[in-house]
């Protein structure tokens, strides 16, 4: 059996096209919070130590409160693990403590409401203490260069995502959105043979 160069070339083109399609289906990080992941600390809020001060971090979570100040806005966030697109993983009770992120400008508390998902990129600048009820809580403080408010999830997003943000569809646990489309088919009436 001889090897046909045209057949080999066609196979290579098909493989290149398939690879490009698969890569484009992968999750991407939005531009405001994108960057080389090696530049970001893997430290999470409940593991932050004084030695981590000065590190660049990309943390995210669910908003607890929003407090506009004179020239900045501070967000209190319940830290969550981030998926491959740097979006906080919700739908379970796994969290990594709370942290504060303060960034320049005004962010409206009517938009940045409790329960919204946020990812921040900035520098861990220290710690502050505040009360949660009667408990004194130690918050890591992030001076945010970028604050990204994620669009609200739709009902179908909530059904699609399973534990820890993994898609629970037919093809197994993938961490990127897949949408199924169902087309109703009208059944034919049974044929009586007449």
Distance CA 173, CA 192 (A): 46
Helix (H) or strand (E) holding 131: strand 117-132
**148: nearest Cα among 35, 43, 58:** 58
Span 70-109, pLDDT tens digits: 999 999 999 999 999 999 999 899 899 999 999 999 999 9
Helix, strand or coil for residue 95?
Answer: coil
Q: Is 80 exceeded by the pLDDT of residue 17? A: no
- Residue for token digits 């289906």? 25
Confidence of residue 170 (pLDDT cuts 50, 70, 90): very low
- Residue for token digits 């919700």? 90
Distance CA 90, CA 88 (A): 6
**Average model confidence (pLDDT) for the chain?**
78
Residue with more model confidence, 58 or 45: 58
Span 115-162, pLDDT tens digits: 999 999 999 999 999 999 999 999 999 999 999 999 998 865 544 444
> Domains plus CATH for the chain?
33-156 (2.40.50.140)
């Amino acid at each position: 059996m001889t090897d046909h160069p045209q057949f080999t070339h066609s196979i290579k083109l098909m493989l290149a096209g398939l690879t490009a399609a698969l890569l484009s289906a992968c999750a991407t990080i939005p531009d405001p919070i994108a960057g080389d992941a090696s530049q970001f600390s893997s430290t999470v809020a409940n593991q932050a130590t004084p030695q981590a001060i000065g590190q660049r971090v990309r943390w995210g979570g669910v908003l607890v409160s929003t407090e506009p100040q004179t020239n900045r806005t501070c967000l209190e966030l319940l830290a969550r693990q981030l998926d491959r697109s740097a979006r906080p993983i919700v739908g379970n009770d796994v969290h990594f403590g709370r942290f504060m992120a303060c960034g320049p400008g005004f962010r409206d508390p009517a938009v940045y409401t409790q329960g919204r998902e946020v990812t921040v990129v900035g520098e861990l600048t220290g710690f502050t203490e505040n009360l949660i009820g009667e408990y004194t809580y130690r918050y890591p403080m992030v001076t945010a260069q970028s604050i990204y408010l994620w669009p609200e999830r739709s009902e179908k997003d909530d059904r699609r995502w399973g534990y820890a943000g993994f898609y629970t569809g037919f093809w197994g646990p993938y961490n990127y959105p897949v949408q199924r489309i169902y087309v109703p088919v009208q059944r034919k009436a049974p044929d009586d043979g007449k």
